[in-house]
């Protein structure tokens, strides 16, 4: 055997060893990070939709009420989020026709990426609408 053949033969398994090391240490965390960020974006969209639905309900009833909070809880549940984890702020409690009503929904979502850490990411959605209730 020539020296060249011996060198080629000894490097034959090197690509396999590199792949075995690179896939679990680099590609899997990147894939999991994409999944985690996708889940965070989904949660943000659901929280925004819940705040919008709550603001619409608050405009119809003229401020904060049980129906507003129930509408927000329903939107969160439909999006796969436990409503008990959310903080809901509706201001003011009572609004006359044309007055602004602010609805804010806040939630802390966990983002865990292997080898990178675990964070609590605060997400919130806020909508301002005008009351449709006449005095």
pTM of the model: 0.80
Mean pLDDT of 15-29: 80
| Residue 48 structural domain | 3-130
How much is the pLDDT for 58?
96
φ/ψ region of 94 (left if φ > 0, alpha if ψ in -120 to 50, else beta) reads beta
Residue pair 35/71 in contact (Cβ under 8 Å)? The answer is no
**Inside any domain, residue 135:** no
Structure confidence by residue, pLDDT tens digits, 57-110:
999 999 999 999 999 999 999 999 999 999 999 999 999 999 999 999 999 998
How much is the pLDDT for 65?
94
CA atoms within a 13 Å half-sphere pointing along the CA-CB vector of 106? 8
Torsion of CA 3, 9, 10, 12, to 10 degrees: 140
Cα–Cα distances in angstroms (integers) from residue 131 to residues 33, 37, 89, in the given order: 42, 36, 16
**Inside any domain, residue 7:** yes
Is the model more confident about 119 or about 22? 119
Instruction: Provide the domain count of the chain.
Output: 1
């Amino acid at each position: 055997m020539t020296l060249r053949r011996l060198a080629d033969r000894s490097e034959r398994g090197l690509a396999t060893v590199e792949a075995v090391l690179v896939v679990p240490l680099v590609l899997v965390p990147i894939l999991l990070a994409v999944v985690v960020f996708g889940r965070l974006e989904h949660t943000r969209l659901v929280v925004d939709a819940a705040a919008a639905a709550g603001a619409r309900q608050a405009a119809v009833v003229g401020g904060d009420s049980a129906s507003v909070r129930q509408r927000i809880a329903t939107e969160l549940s439909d999006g796969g989020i436990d409503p008990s984890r959310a903080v809901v702020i509706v201001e003011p409690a009572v609004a006359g026709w044309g007055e602004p009503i602010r609805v804010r929904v806040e939630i802390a979502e966990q983002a865990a990426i292997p080898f990178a850490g675990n964070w609590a990411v605060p997400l919130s959605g806020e909508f301002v609408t005008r009351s449709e209730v006449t005095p």
